[in-house]
Chains A and B, each alone.
Chain A
Amino acid sequence: MSTLTPRTPQPRPGDPAISAALIAEHGLTAAEYARVVAMLGRDPTFTELGIVSALWSEHCSYKHSRPLLKTLPTSAPYVLQGPGENAGVIAVGDGMAVAFKIESHNHPSAVEPYQGAATGVGGILRDVFTMGARPIAMLNSLRFGSLSTPRVRYLFAGVVRGIGDYGNCVGVPTVAGEVVFDPAYEGNPLVNAMCVGILREDELIRAVAQGVGNPIIAVGARTGRDGIHGASFASEDLSTATDAKRPRVQVGDPFTEKLLLEASLELIRSGHIVAIQDMGAAGLTSSSAEMAARGDVGVTIDVSKVPAREPGMTPYEILLSESQERMLVVARRGREDAVRAILAKWDLAAAVIGEVIAEPVYRVTEGDRVVAEFPGSQLVTDCPFYTPDAAEDPAVRAARLTDVHAVAPRPEERDPAWTLETLLASPTIASKAWVTGQYDSSVRSNTVVWPGVGDAAVVRIRGTSRALGLKTDGNGRYTYLDPRVGGRIAVAEAARNVACVGARPMAITNCLNFGNPTRPAVYYQLREAIGGMGEACRVLGTPVTGGNVSLYNESPAGAIYPTPVVGMVGLIDAFNHVTRSGFRDDAEAAIVLLGEPTDELGGSEYLAWIHGVVAGAPPHCDLAAERALTDALLAAIRAGAVRSAHDVSDGGLAVAVAECCIGNAERLVGADLDLSGWSSLPLRALLFGEGQGRIVVSTTDAPVVLAMAGERGVPARQIGTVRPAAGELRIAIGGTRIAVSLARLAAAYHGAIPAAMGPAAVVQAAEEPTAAGSLV
């Protein structure tokens, strides 16, 4: 586009010479390096090598996933901003919009759990408020190894404290999430954080640099030597040498974040700025290059003007630092003082460090000296994309084809109550009050349904009569056994969960946690899982508005389970549709099962926790049936016929019903179930199989619920009665009678994680304030 000859940057004194070893250390292949040389028409300087290394890292470039991500549906009439921005945005009526995004911080959390998790929260908050949105809710999705090892307990405790301390201080409620424990995550925990913000549609701002002559301003914390090359670190396998990379983990300062949040929203509303972006992964480099590329403009940055935390920082360090709580702003020319005044109010520093230029280059200077220069937007657009070989691991195929019904029951299983109690004590199923009790869920006074009280969180949109249903979901074990089915179920389960609180599923953000994509078995998982998610999103009408890909989640112990996580946003049209999951103790009610039990047992928590077996085909996921199911449930909720709704997932039907009975430790509610209609199914599949597309509803208006289901072709049957005073859960299946005291089940369910974490860790069950205006 231009014949302009770039000024040739010269190496700085002290720069290491470019060598094959240095190139490899920067994570570039020989072919990628050749591409850089071709782009520049010369060898890069050390500084330029660092820039390319960061922007072409997997984390920033999505080079192994973008061709697959392009197959996902991204549009709907209400999608205001799809993938490619800091966060996706959807309209929710009354001129209001919701910005939301999920992101991983897996690698940092593996080496420094507290700061790794805290800065993960900080980063995703910034992604949302840079869209002009006020953050109103945080969610997370966590995976750890077995709680029986001290290392995992350390990681678990540190991550939870890190998430809590950051979000609590900034004043954004953490309202929902999921925590799963499985040995597959032993050396490589997953920490995915999601932020949801609210804005008026006309306040939406995009990170697009525009306007020649407009100043580029660095805002917020000073730039230090922390987190240099964090993006590249996140793009390689974890190894035994990983702990030595702890200095690549950044340190979070939630107080500064809070100031930055308020100042940024004030700046955006002031009209003094045209664009704003977080200096996140790859810091100043990626924020400036991406904003320039989106606007198709040139920029020049003078690193000597960047406020540094310490003297003597090189351009390389300043450009690649991932110091937290920094933003890059493109202001309108002449408004610099007005911008400074707003920041000064919040005691934040601002420095003009560059400007938008007409010349199509990405240029970095140190004073007058050019230290890096790339033509046009090629730095961003020339990154290579890969479609590696894909092939299923034969061992996984064999595991899937295993006949899990042949797994011999343990002797204790002669008493199904033992199995139920044991499953309720599985840390994956057990109450997470130990976790959520460390989060401030009530700040801003919008949280209608607290963690653990409903299948999803409900957060009211102030000033309207609407609320959001929010949830994260994903099942790595299913995805390992059958990635396409796992991808489908991640979306379908999230949709079910938000429907259970009365919300219509609207859109998702996704976080794809996988291993090393250059291995054919991993690329196969990635391709299939994304394919499955796309199918589900199309049928369920929930486009993908953005997300994050985290690859190279491998430790010396091997790859994690491929774990696609879905963050779902649903919309509740009226407050009286808000529905909780537990049975209510004020009256007897019919228990109706929407959907149909199956003989499926593969991939279940039952097999994993009771037998240590990860095998069999994960449950079939019929997407049309899932759509009909959520439609039927929402129709019944809108008709006022539903007192509680809880989806059947980990642990199957028996666990789902038990959770309805004992979820609230202070108010145990009994139930009688009669499952004799399915007595021909294997007992453990009926009780603990995880067949999809099922929801347990309690109702005093069963005919309405059954009619709503019938109209949509959803199998539905009354399977029992809520008995508030019974003190027991009783299940009849033909001649088999199971009766188990609620106190015993509750002790297992509420005690498991506190017991694993030690006596000092005992936290009473997080409990919602008693609803005065009773909502159905």
Chain B
Amino acid sequence: MRFGIVTFPGSNSDIDAYQTVVDGIGEEAVMLWHKGHDLGGADVLILPGGFAYGDYLRAGAIARFSPIMREVRAFADGGGRVLAICNGFQIACEAGLLPGALVRNAGLKFLGRSVRVRVESTGTAFTNAYAPGQVLRLPIAHGEGRFVADQQVIEELEGEGRVVMRYVDAAGDPAPEGNPNGSMHNIAGIINAAGNVFGLMPHPERAADALLGAPDGLPMFESLVARVAA
């Protein structure tokens, strides 16, 4: 199975994603340059973390105009699976692939640390290898990760079970103490209505090697292999 990883100017976690696909689950990965229009025959796309175009205007606001985004959108519209991580999540929201927006963290500081997130839905192509309610330890590294949306969108997301991951505290509850950035409803990751575009702020691709800590991100990639191959 082939993962296509899009490199925007300023992407910096593209390498992490590549390593996880190739070394973590032993699948094939191709790097896709943002100026191209070729998805390299990828079965799954990853929009990786980083600071595309420096995030100088607003995170993801310029990257969504990158040439390759035309193909990314068409791929998603055709049901292709897109995993949008951190800056990739921001880009996906800016591009309208996912609803809502990611704004400045509530504490107004960049946050680089490990958080707990609970898997709220295992019925997705991205999370079927997790146990329902499983609490994961994943790193975060973002300055603009506070998920916000209008009330109607939030209700839709909640009502349709599209909040796939939520920040939780040490007891596994979605309490304010467990919410690092002030996201509404402790939302860490959401999926689109069609179930093929998943965006999250934590970095599963950086938690895929037992040497570095609990490899809680690995099952996300394994889920994709299982589902696409099926």
Residues of A within 8 A of B (CB): 161, 164-165, 168-171, 174, 253-256, 258-259, 345-347, 433, 436-448, 460, 462, 575, 666, 760-764, 766-773, 775
Contacts and interface: CB of A to CB of B under 8 A. Distances in A.
Contacts of A346: 9
Interface in B21-58: 33, 35, 49-51, 53-56
B159 to A, nearest CB: 31
Contact of A443 (B12, B107, B138, B216): B12
A766 B10 contact: no
Interface in B205-228: 205-216
Contacts, number: 132
Contacts of B175: none
Interface in B163-220: 170, 180, 203, 205-216
B78 interface: no
Interface stretch (B94-102, B111-119, B126-134, B145-153): B111-119
Interface of B: 9-10, 12-13, 15-16, 19-20, 33, 35, 49-51, 53-56, 107-114, 137-139, 141, 143, 170, 180, 203, 205-216
Contacts of B109: 161, 437-438, 761, 763
**Chain A interface, DSSP helix/strand/loop, else mixed:** loop
Q: Which 10 A-B pairs have the closest CB atoms?
A: A171-B12, A255-B54, A769-B213, A773-B210, A440-B141, A442-B139, A440-B112, A769-B137, A169-B51, A766-B113
Contact of A770 (B137, B203, B209): B137
B137 A447 contact: no
B12 A442 contact: no
A165 B110 contact: yes
Contacts of A760: 107-108
B148 to A, nearest CB: 19
Given A258-B51, A763-B109, A764-B113, A771 B12 contact: no
A448 B212 contact: yes
Nearest to A771: B213
26 contacts: A168-B51, A168-B143, A169-B55, A171-B13, A171-B51, A255-B51, A258-B9, A259-B9, A433-B113, A438-B110, A440-B110, A441-B113, A442-B139, A442-B206, A443-B12, A443-B16, A443-B206, A447-B212, A760-B108, A763-B109, A763-B111, A766-B113, A767-B114, A770-B213, A772-B214, A775-B211
Most B CB contacts (10 A, CB to CB) among A258, A433, A436, A442 go to A442
Contact of B111 (A253, A437, A446): A437
B141 A445 contact: no
Contacts of A347: 9
A448 B211 contact: yes
Given A168-B112, A442-B112, A766-B113, A254 B206 contact: no
Given A169-B51, A255-B53, A666 B112 contact: no
Contacts of B216: 769
A772 B213 contact: yes
Contact of B10 (A164, A165, A169, A666): A169
A438 B33 CA distance: 30
Contact of B141 (A254, A433, A442): A442
Contacts of A170: 12
A773 B11 CA distance: 30
A442 B137 CA distance: 13
Contacts of A575: 211
B131 to A, nearest CB: 16
Given A443-B206, A770-B214, A255 B137 contact: no
Nearest to B141: A440
A438 B35 CA distance: 32
Contacts of B35: 345
